[in-house]
Amino acid sequence: MKDDHIKHAKNFLSRFTVNGVAASDFEDVVNALESWDDWCSKWSERAAVHEELGREALAQKHFVSAAEHLSRAAVTYHFAKYLFVQDMKQMRAAHMKAVECLDLALPHLDPPGQRVLIPYEGSQLVGTLRLPKGVTRPPVVLMTMGLDSTKEELLTFETTFLDRGMAILAFDGPGQGEAEYEFPIRYDYENVVGPVIDWLSQRDDVDASRIGVWGISLGGYYAPRAAAFEKRLKACVANCGPYNWGALWDKLPGLTRDAYIRRSHSASPEEAREKAFQLSLEGVAEKIECPLFVIAAGLDRLCPPEDAEKLASEAKGPTTLLVIPDGNHVAHNRFYKYRNQSADWMAAQLAASS
Protein backbone atom coordinates (compact mmCIF):
# COMPACT_ATOMS: atom_id res chain seq x y z
CA MET A 1 0.00 0.00 0.00
CA LYS A 2 1.44 3.35 -1.03
CA ASP A 3 1.59 5.94 1.73
CA ASP A 4 -0.91 8.78 1.98
CA HIS A 5 1.53 11.38 0.70
CA ILE A 6 1.93 9.48 -2.55
CA LYS A 7 -1.84 9.19 -2.87
CA HIS A 8 -2.07 12.94 -2.37
CA ALA A 9 0.66 13.46 -4.98
CA LYS A 10 -1.66 12.07 -7.67
CA ASN A 11 -3.39 15.46 -7.48
CA PHE A 12 -0.25 17.26 -8.66
CA LEU A 13 -0.51 16.19 -12.32
CA SER A 14 -1.97 19.38 -13.78
CA ARG A 15 0.39 21.63 -11.85
CA PHE A 16 3.49 19.72 -12.84
CA THR A 17 2.66 19.36 -16.51
CA VAL A 18 1.40 22.89 -17.12
CA ASN A 19 4.67 24.19 -15.67
CA GLY A 20 6.93 22.12 -17.89
CA VAL A 21 7.24 18.60 -16.50
CA ALA A 22 6.73 15.91 -19.14
CA ALA A 23 3.45 14.07 -18.54
CA SER A 24 5.19 10.75 -19.09
CA ASP A 25 7.75 11.62 -16.42
CA PHE A 26 4.98 12.36 -13.94
CA GLU A 27 3.27 9.05 -14.61
CA ASP A 28 6.52 7.08 -14.51
CA VAL A 29 7.81 8.54 -11.27
CA VAL A 30 4.62 8.82 -9.25
CA ASN A 31 3.24 5.44 -10.24
CA ALA A 32 6.51 3.74 -9.30
CA LEU A 33 6.79 5.29 -5.85
CA GLU A 34 5.91 3.31 -2.75
CA SER A 35 7.11 5.79 -0.14
CA TRP A 36 7.30 9.56 0.14
CA ASP A 37 10.85 9.04 1.42
CA ASP A 38 11.88 8.28 -2.18
CA TRP A 39 10.20 11.32 -3.72
CA CYS A 40 13.21 13.60 -3.93
CA SER A 41 15.69 11.00 -5.13
CA LYS A 42 13.42 9.56 -7.82
CA TRP A 43 12.50 12.95 -9.24
CA SER A 44 16.15 13.97 -9.15
CA GLU A 45 17.06 10.88 -11.15
CA ARG A 46 14.53 11.83 -13.82
CA ALA A 47 15.68 15.45 -13.83
CA ALA A 48 19.25 14.27 -14.42
CA VAL A 49 18.14 12.75 -17.74
CA HIS A 50 17.05 16.19 -18.98
CA GLU A 51 20.14 17.85 -17.53
CA GLU A 52 22.42 15.47 -19.43
CA LEU A 53 20.56 16.16 -22.68
CA GLY A 54 20.89 19.88 -22.05
CA ARG A 55 24.60 19.74 -21.34
CA GLU A 56 25.17 17.68 -24.48
CA ALA A 57 23.26 20.27 -26.52
CA LEU A 58 25.31 23.07 -24.97
CA ALA A 59 28.55 21.29 -25.84
CA GLN A 60 27.38 20.96 -29.44
CA LYS A 61 26.24 24.64 -29.47
CA HIS A 62 22.63 23.63 -30.10
CA PHE A 63 21.38 26.45 -27.91
CA VAL A 64 17.65 26.21 -28.64
CA SER A 65 17.68 22.56 -27.64
CA ALA A 66 19.86 23.29 -24.64
CA ALA A 67 17.40 25.87 -23.34
CA GLU A 68 14.51 23.45 -23.67
CA HIS A 69 16.27 20.52 -22.00
CA LEU A 70 17.77 22.58 -19.19
CA SER A 71 14.52 24.41 -18.47
CA ARG A 72 12.79 21.05 -18.12
CA ALA A 73 15.62 19.81 -15.92
CA ALA A 74 15.29 22.89 -13.69
CA VAL A 75 11.57 22.50 -13.11
CA THR A 76 11.90 18.74 -12.62
CA TYR A 77 14.63 19.21 -9.98
CA HIS A 78 12.40 21.87 -8.44
CA PHE A 79 9.59 19.38 -8.02
CA ALA A 80 12.06 16.94 -6.51
CA LYS A 81 12.53 19.39 -3.63
CA TYR A 82 8.87 20.43 -3.66
CA LEU A 83 7.40 20.01 -0.14
CA PHE A 84 10.22 17.57 0.72
CA VAL A 85 11.25 19.17 4.01
CA GLN A 86 11.82 15.96 5.96
CA ASP A 87 15.41 15.68 4.70
CA MET A 88 16.83 19.16 4.24
CA LYS A 89 20.21 17.99 3.00
CA GLN A 90 18.64 15.97 0.20
CA MET A 91 16.11 18.72 -0.54
CA ARG A 92 18.77 21.41 -0.78
CA ALA A 93 20.90 19.30 -3.11
CA ALA A 94 17.98 18.96 -5.52
CA HIS A 95 17.24 22.67 -5.16
CA MET A 96 20.78 23.68 -6.06
CA LYS A 97 20.59 21.49 -9.16
CA ALA A 98 17.39 23.29 -10.18
CA VAL A 99 19.14 26.64 -9.74
CA GLU A 100 22.19 25.46 -11.68
CA CYS A 101 20.13 24.19 -14.63
CA LEU A 102 18.05 27.35 -14.84
CA ASP A 103 21.19 29.50 -14.80
CA LEU A 104 22.57 27.46 -17.69
CA ALA A 105 19.31 27.85 -19.62
CA LEU A 106 18.70 31.58 -19.06
CA PRO A 107 21.00 33.04 -21.76
CA HIS A 108 19.45 30.77 -24.37
CA LEU A 109 15.77 31.31 -23.61
CA ASP A 110 13.63 33.27 -26.04
CA PRO A 111 13.74 36.01 -24.88
CA PRO A 112 16.85 35.45 -22.76
CA GLY A 113 16.96 35.97 -19.03
CA GLN A 114 19.53 36.95 -16.48
CA ARG A 115 20.13 36.00 -12.87
CA VAL A 116 19.94 39.14 -10.73
CA LEU A 117 20.81 39.88 -7.12
CA ILE A 118 18.64 42.37 -5.22
CA PRO A 119 19.94 43.95 -1.99
CA TYR A 120 17.76 42.98 0.95
CA GLU A 121 18.32 43.35 4.70
CA GLY A 122 22.09 43.12 4.56
CA SER A 123 21.98 40.19 2.17
CA GLN A 124 20.23 39.65 -1.15
CA LEU A 125 17.28 38.11 -2.93
CA VAL A 126 17.81 36.22 -6.17
CA GLY A 127 15.61 36.68 -9.19
CA THR A 128 15.22 36.12 -12.90
CA LEU A 129 14.83 39.22 -15.06
CA ARG A 130 13.63 38.85 -18.64
CA LEU A 131 12.86 41.64 -21.09
CA PRO A 132 10.43 41.34 -24.01
CA LYS A 133 11.84 41.51 -27.51
CA GLY A 134 11.69 44.79 -29.39
CA VAL A 135 10.37 46.95 -26.52
CA THR A 136 12.32 49.88 -25.10
CA ARG A 137 11.95 50.37 -21.34
CA PRO A 138 8.99 48.01 -20.89
CA PRO A 139 6.76 47.88 -17.83
CA VAL A 140 7.57 45.16 -15.31
CA VAL A 141 5.53 42.43 -13.66
CA LEU A 142 6.82 41.27 -10.27
CA MET A 143 6.11 37.56 -9.93
CA THR A 144 5.50 36.36 -6.38
CA MET A 145 5.12 32.64 -5.94
CA GLY A 146 3.60 30.57 -3.17
CA LEU A 147 4.70 28.41 -0.27
CA ASP A 148 6.11 25.59 -2.35
CA SER A 149 7.09 27.29 -5.63
CA THR A 150 10.25 29.06 -6.74
CA LYS A 151 11.44 31.05 -9.74
CA GLU A 152 12.49 27.78 -11.41
CA GLU A 153 8.81 26.84 -11.76
CA LEU A 154 7.54 30.01 -13.45
CA LEU A 155 8.89 29.88 -17.01
CA THR A 156 5.57 29.05 -18.66
CA PHE A 157 3.82 31.76 -16.65
CA GLU A 158 6.50 34.27 -17.65
CA THR A 159 5.79 33.80 -21.34
CA THR A 160 2.26 35.15 -21.07
CA PHE A 161 3.60 38.52 -19.92
CA LEU A 162 6.68 38.62 -22.14
CA ASP A 163 4.59 37.96 -25.24
CA ARG A 164 2.53 41.05 -24.42
CA GLY A 165 5.45 43.45 -24.11
CA MET A 166 6.05 43.27 -20.36
CA ALA A 167 9.28 42.45 -18.58
CA ILE A 168 9.14 39.96 -15.73
CA LEU A 169 11.05 39.81 -12.48
CA ALA A 170 10.47 36.45 -10.78
CA PHE A 171 12.22 36.49 -7.41
CA ASP A 172 12.55 34.18 -4.45
CA GLY A 173 11.25 36.10 -1.45
CA PRO A 174 11.68 35.28 2.24
CA GLY A 175 10.85 31.64 2.88
CA GLN A 176 11.03 30.86 -0.83
CA GLY A 177 13.66 29.22 -3.02
CA GLU A 178 17.16 30.52 -2.54
CA ALA A 179 16.03 32.83 0.27
CA GLU A 180 14.27 30.18 2.34
CA TYR A 181 17.39 29.09 4.23
CA GLU A 182 18.29 32.59 5.43
CA PHE A 183 14.96 34.41 5.69
CA PRO A 184 11.67 33.12 7.12
CA ILE A 185 8.30 33.81 5.55
CA ARG A 186 7.06 37.26 6.48
CA TYR A 187 3.51 38.55 6.41
CA ASP A 188 4.32 42.22 5.68
CA TYR A 189 5.28 41.65 2.06
CA GLU A 190 5.30 45.33 1.20
CA ASN A 191 8.64 45.38 3.01
CA VAL A 192 9.90 42.83 0.50
CA VAL A 193 8.42 44.40 -2.62
CA GLY A 194 9.60 47.88 -1.62
CA PRO A 195 13.34 47.06 -1.86
CA VAL A 196 12.69 45.20 -5.13
CA ILE A 197 11.06 48.30 -6.63
CA ASP A 198 13.92 50.45 -5.30
CA TRP A 199 16.34 48.19 -7.16
CA LEU A 200 14.33 48.31 -10.37
CA SER A 201 14.19 52.09 -10.14
CA GLN A 202 17.97 52.22 -10.56
CA ARG A 203 17.85 50.43 -13.92
CA ASP A 204 17.50 52.16 -17.28
CA ASP A 205 16.25 49.15 -19.24
CA VAL A 206 12.79 48.99 -17.62
CA ASP A 207 10.14 51.57 -16.75
CA ALA A 208 9.85 51.54 -12.97
CA SER A 209 6.86 53.88 -13.12
CA ARG A 210 4.83 51.01 -14.59
CA ILE A 211 5.11 48.04 -12.23
CA GLY A 212 2.47 45.42 -11.55
CA VAL A 213 2.53 42.51 -9.13
CA TRP A 214 1.26 38.98 -9.73
CA GLY A 215 0.92 36.20 -7.19
CA ILE A 216 -0.29 32.60 -7.02
CA SER A 217 -1.38 30.54 -4.03
CA LEU A 218 0.31 32.06 -0.96
CA GLY A 219 1.62 34.63 -3.42
CA GLY A 220 -2.06 35.43 -3.93
CA TYR A 221 -1.84 36.84 -0.39
CA TYR A 222 1.59 38.45 -0.80
CA ALA A 223 0.65 40.37 -3.95
CA PRO A 224 -2.51 42.09 -2.64
CA ARG A 225 -0.84 42.66 0.73
CA ALA A 226 1.98 44.48 -1.05
CA ALA A 227 -0.47 46.42 -3.23
CA ALA A 228 -2.32 47.65 -0.15
CA PHE A 229 0.72 49.47 1.21
CA GLU A 230 3.20 49.87 -1.68
CA LYS A 231 1.52 52.56 -3.75
CA ARG A 232 4.13 52.42 -6.53
CA LEU A 233 2.39 49.27 -7.74
CA LYS A 234 0.01 50.10 -10.57
CA ALA A 235 -1.90 46.80 -10.80
CA CYS A 236 -2.23 43.47 -9.00
CA VAL A 237 -3.23 39.93 -9.99
CA ALA A 238 -4.08 37.56 -7.12
CA ASN A 239 -4.66 33.92 -8.02
CA CYS A 240 -6.25 31.61 -5.43
CA GLY A 241 -4.61 33.12 -2.38
CA PRO A 242 -5.81 32.81 1.23
CA TYR A 243 -7.69 35.60 2.94
CA ASN A 244 -6.49 34.36 6.33
CA TRP A 245 -3.87 31.60 6.22
CA GLY A 246 -4.26 30.74 9.89
CA ALA A 247 -8.00 30.21 9.52
CA LEU A 248 -7.23 27.46 6.98
CA TRP A 249 -4.51 25.80 9.06
CA ASP A 250 -6.43 22.84 10.47
CA LYS A 251 -7.67 21.80 7.01
CA LEU A 252 -4.33 22.06 5.22
CA PRO A 253 -2.66 18.87 3.92
CA GLY A 254 0.09 17.58 6.16
CA LEU A 255 2.77 18.21 3.55
CA THR A 256 1.71 21.85 3.28
CA ARG A 257 1.74 22.37 7.04
CA ASP A 258 5.17 20.76 7.32
CA ALA A 259 6.52 23.05 4.59
CA TYR A 260 5.10 26.12 6.30
CA ILE A 261 6.63 25.11 9.64
CA ARG A 262 10.04 24.83 7.99
CA ARG A 263 9.80 27.95 5.80
CA SER A 264 8.45 30.14 8.56
CA HIS A 265 11.45 28.99 10.66
CA SER A 266 9.07 27.85 13.40
CA ALA A 267 10.16 25.62 16.25
CA SER A 268 6.83 23.79 16.48
CA PRO A 269 3.48 23.35 14.74
CA GLU A 270 1.94 25.56 17.43
CA GLU A 271 4.34 28.40 16.68
CA ALA A 272 3.74 28.02 12.94
CA ARG A 273 -0.03 28.09 13.41
CA GLU A 274 0.25 31.29 15.43
CA LYS A 275 2.41 32.89 12.76
CA ALA A 276 -0.03 31.78 10.05
CA PHE A 277 -2.72 34.05 11.48
CA GLN A 278 -0.50 37.03 10.71
CA LEU A 279 -1.00 36.32 7.01
CA SER A 280 -4.42 37.92 6.89
CA LEU A 281 -6.04 40.50 4.63
CA GLU A 282 -8.52 41.55 7.29
CA GLY A 283 -8.34 45.34 7.51
CA VAL A 284 -5.81 45.27 4.67
CA ALA A 285 -7.83 44.49 1.53
CA GLU A 286 -9.75 47.73 1.94
CA LYS A 287 -6.49 49.65 1.46
CA ILE A 288 -5.96 48.30 -2.07
CA GLU A 289 -6.56 51.20 -4.44
CA CYS A 290 -4.83 50.05 -7.64
CA PRO A 291 -6.72 47.92 -10.18
CA LEU A 292 -7.04 44.34 -8.91
CA PHE A 293 -7.70 41.11 -10.82
CA VAL A 294 -8.73 38.23 -8.54
CA ILE A 295 -8.93 34.60 -9.66
CA ALA A 296 -10.94 32.04 -7.72
CA ALA A 297 -11.20 28.29 -8.39
CA GLY A 298 -14.41 26.50 -7.45
CA LEU A 299 -12.74 23.17 -6.66
CA ASP A 300 -9.82 24.63 -4.71
CA ARG A 301 -9.28 22.48 -1.64
CA LEU A 302 -6.37 24.56 -0.33
CA CYS A 303 -7.56 28.18 -0.59
CA PRO A 304 -11.34 28.12 -1.01
CA PRO A 305 -12.97 30.42 -3.56
CA GLU A 306 -14.75 32.27 -0.78
CA ASP A 307 -11.37 33.73 0.24
CA ALA A 308 -10.79 35.24 -3.20
CA GLU A 309 -14.35 36.50 -3.35
CA LYS A 310 -13.93 38.21 0.02
CA LEU A 311 -10.74 39.93 -1.16
CA ALA A 312 -12.50 41.16 -4.29
CA SER A 313 -15.47 42.48 -2.33
CA GLU A 314 -13.34 44.46 0.12
CA ALA A 315 -10.77 46.06 -2.21
CA LYS A 316 -11.26 49.78 -2.63
CA GLY A 317 -10.04 50.16 -6.21
CA PRO A 318 -11.48 48.82 -9.48
CA THR A 319 -11.70 45.04 -9.18
CA THR A 320 -12.26 42.17 -11.60
CA LEU A 321 -13.24 38.78 -10.18
CA LEU A 322 -12.85 35.70 -12.39
CA VAL A 323 -14.34 32.52 -10.91
CA ILE A 324 -13.41 29.24 -12.58
CA PRO A 325 -16.02 26.77 -11.24
CA ASP A 326 -14.17 23.63 -12.38
CA GLY A 327 -10.68 24.85 -11.43
CA ASN A 328 -8.49 23.17 -8.84
CA HIS A 329 -5.93 25.06 -6.74
CA VAL A 330 -4.55 27.92 -8.87
CA ALA A 331 -6.77 26.43 -11.63
CA HIS A 332 -3.79 24.64 -13.13
CA ASN A 333 -6.23 22.20 -14.70
CA ARG A 334 -7.99 25.09 -16.48
CA PHE A 335 -5.04 27.39 -17.13
CA TYR A 336 -6.53 28.42 -20.45
CA LYS A 337 -9.43 30.07 -18.63
CA TYR A 338 -7.28 32.67 -16.87
CA ARG A 339 -3.63 32.90 -17.98
CA ASN A 340 -4.21 34.83 -21.19
CA GLN A 341 -7.10 36.78 -19.71
CA SER A 342 -5.14 38.01 -16.69
CA ALA A 343 -2.07 38.78 -18.83
CA ASP A 344 -4.18 40.83 -21.26
CA TRP A 345 -5.63 42.68 -18.29
CA MET A 346 -2.19 43.39 -16.85
CA ALA A 347 -0.94 44.61 -20.23
CA ALA A 348 -3.83 47.08 -20.39
CA GLN A 349 -3.19 48.37 -16.85
CA LEU A 350 0.53 48.91 -17.52
CA ALA A 351 0.01 50.30 -21.06
CA ALA A 352 2.28 47.59 -22.49
CA SER A 353 3.02 47.50 -26.21
CA SER A 354 3.37 44.05 -27.73
For the chain, how long is the longest CA-to-CA vector?
58
* Enclosing H/E stretch for 292: strand 292-297
**What are residue 182's DSSP bridge partners?**
none
Evaluate whether 29 touches 41 at the Cβ level (below 8 Å): no
Quickly count: other Cβ atoms within 10 Å of residue 24's Cβ: 10
Chain-centroid distance, C-alpha 78 = 12
* Enclosing H/E stretch for 39: helix 39-59
SS3 letters across 183-198: CCCCCCCHHHHHHHHH
Query: Which amino acid is it at 330?
Result: V
Among 14, 71, 217, 280, the one annotated catalytic: 217
Question: Is-cis flag, bond preceding 111, omega within 30?
Answer: yes
> How far apart are the C-alpha atoms of 18 and 290, rounded to whole Å?
29
- Pairs from 192-196 (Cβ < 8 Å, separation ≥ 24): 192/120, 192/125, 192/222, 192/226, 193/142, 193/144, 193/226, 193/230, 193/233, 194/230, 195/118, 195/119, 195/120, 195/121, 195/125, 196/118, 196/125, 196/127, 196/142, 196/169, 196/171
217 labelled catalytic: yes
> How far apart are the C-alpha atoms of 325 and 143, rounded to whole Å?
25
Query: Which amino acid is it at 160?
Result: T
- Cite the active site residues: 217
